[in-house]
Amino acid sequence: MDAAELNLAELNLSGLRERFAVEGVLAFERAASGLVFARVTSAAAEATIYLQGAHLAEWRPAGEEPVLFLSARSGYVPGKAIRGGVPVIFPWFGPRHDGKAGPQHGFARTSVWELAFAAVAGDDVHLTFTLGPSEVSRALGFDHFRVAYRMTIGKRLRLEMMVANDLDAAEGEGAALVFEEALHTYFAVSEVERVDLMGLGGTAYLDKQGGARRKMQAEGAVRLTEETDRVYVETTATCVVEDAAAGRRIVVEKSGSRATVVWNPWAEATAKMADMEPDGWRGMLCVESANVGESAVTLRPGETHTMRAEIWVEAIS
């Protein structure tokens, strides 16, 4: 980060503190790399959110262990996605597949979002981040969109992502906004091979490890035994991560999402990731609320779409 960028970062940090800081609850800091982040320390939960990517990196409800996996090797580098937490995937998932060039998982997770609103209500902290067209997005062909991403940080985590096609309806059908989206949530687990994922039994999925072939999940729990990259289709089901060794279950309830992505890189792929510790795969499981592939969203001018996820922890007695 050069001197001009550093001065701008300091100016932005001062503005955030002046507008939104709440003593003892919501603070704003700058990492050594220059990335600005919000720190939540309420009676209900602790959390860390980076403005780059509106990236929720950490969430720990009071009295609980961390719910989100965060790699110890994440670099927190400007322009590079953080490994862990909840990366926001938009406007495409994985490699861009419309014949055009673009970064993996779109531009939202490496763009700097604007914090538009922050408030404390009871023990919950409410934050709203916004993202609109930029030089980067326009160069990639995305000029008429707005995203508002609302977080409620408390004993429960509520995430709401609203996307709008901000063209006037008079622009006509040819100006549709087509996009994919995902809340690429990394959950912290005791040992992924011993965790049961409930809620997807009897659901069709695309096996991206097997040439994207369509398969059917057997009834009952899903338990991973190898590198897994699956898009479960046409499902609005609540998922439950049963982690008996940790004595807890993580519940993921969603709406406005017609796909659930389940991913773990396993040992061989993890070894190729510079930002992941070699055994990191053992302690993580991605369960992502999404609209991808055949559930991609099309918005005509003036239309909006909202995807929500609510996450909480329950003890296993």
Catalytic center residues: 184, 288
**Strand pairing category for 177-179 and 157-164:** unpaired
How far is the C-alpha of 157 from the C-alpha of 159, rounded, in Å? Answer: 7
Which of 139-143's residues contact partners 24+ apart within 8 Å by CB, and which partners? 140/100, 140/101, 140/102, 140/107, 141/100, 142/91, 142/107, 142/177
Check residue 170 and give left, alpha or beta (phi > 0: left; psi -120 to 50: alpha). alpha
Which of 169-176's residues contact partners 24+ apart within 8 Å by CB, and which partners? 169/300, 169/301, 169/302, 170/301, 171/301, 172/301, 173/300, 175/144, 175/300, 175/301, 176/298, 176/299, 176/300, 176/301
How far is the C-alpha of 184 from the C-alpha of 186, rounded, in Å? Answer: 7
What is the number of alpha carbons within 13 Å of residue 118 lying toward its C-beta?
Answer: 18
Residue pair 109/92 in contact (Cβ under 8 Å)? The answer is no
Two tokens at 316?
């296993």
Give the DSSP letter string of 165-176.
--S-GGG-GGG-
- The continuous run of DSSP H or E covering 261 comes out as strand 259-264
Distances in Å between the alpha carbon of 235 and those of 11, 114, 256?
45, 32, 10
How far is the C-alpha of 72 from the C-alpha of 54, rounded, in Å? Answer: 19
